[in-house]
Homo-oligomer: A and B are copies of this chain.
Amino acid sequence: LTFDLAGVPRVLKITLAYDGTRYVGWQRQAEGSSIQGLLEEALARFEGGPVTVHGAGRTDAGVHALGQVASAQVAAGHDVSDLRRGLNASLPPDVRVVQVEDAAPDFHARFSARSKTYRYAIRNAPLVSPFEYPYVCHVPERLDVTAMQAAASRLIGTHDFSAFRSAGSEVKDSVRTITRSEIVRNGQLPTPNSQTGLVVYEVEGTGFLRHMVRAIAGTLLEVGRGWRTAESIAALIAGGSRADAGATAPAHGLFLVSVTYD
């Protein structure tokens, strides 16, 4: 028995940015075009055969990514720069490979992830720019962003997030740890013709349940509108009932910002 170095698989770490507008989401579906499907097809051209890729976060239809990470086991001996260029030549312009790196043989984009950061963008203004509407949730009514910040900070910690999980989810364990939850940009409600009222929420955690960030964003929006208080968040988490939390905010305001690894 010898160590067969030639048998060690080559694993790629692929960082992607995409506009989710036209897609059914990260995950391959029976109908429609998925980011995973496009990337697998682009990689298959290098491999001359089928390739499976794993994504760090399964972004829903309409959700965007600035730094999604995918892993794939390949045989292709191409240089990582050539792979990046080649993949981008195959992919449509609204899906871009930002970086390709060689990773450890046991690297897996989802299981090796230490944390993920999501961003939810709200345009708190009477008008949304024609260039921005696919990337923000539009709220024309004045938001109390100070109350939203107070509510956001109450989500930090290790909690059972059942109140913020999508119905019908198959994952058993709904305990997750949120390490950061804050309004990172607090735009004042502007004058009717200006475009400065951008409110951006960011959340970082070890993992997220299905639709969890959108349920949190929807709940924060209800706090901002004065429909519920920042103080009510603790009881909401303790109660664990999805019906008690806010409506799921629209997908198109959500971005997967980055994924960190050890």
Q: Residues on A close to B: CB < 8 A?
A: 17-19, 64, 81, 88, 93-96, 98-99, 127-131, 133, 135, 192-193
Contacts and interface: CB of A to CB of B under 8 A. Distances in A.
Contact of A128 (B96, B129, B192): B96
Nearest to A131: B19
A93 to B, nearest CB: 4
Copies of this chain, tallied across the complex: 2
B17 A96 contact: no
Contacts of A81: 192
A88 to B, nearest CB: 7
A99 B193 contact: yes
B96 A127 contact: yes
A152 to B, nearest CB: 25
A107 B95 CA distance: 45
A19 B128 CA distance: 12
Nearest to A127: B96
Nearest to A65: B130
B17 A129 contact: yes
23 contacts: A17-B129, A17-B130, A17-B131, A18-B130, A19-B130, A19-B131, A64-B131, A81-B192, A88-B127, A93-B128, A93-B130, A93-B133, A94-B130, A94-B133, A95-B130, A96-B127, A96-B128, A96-B129, A96-B130, A98-B127, A98-B193, A99-B193, A131-B135
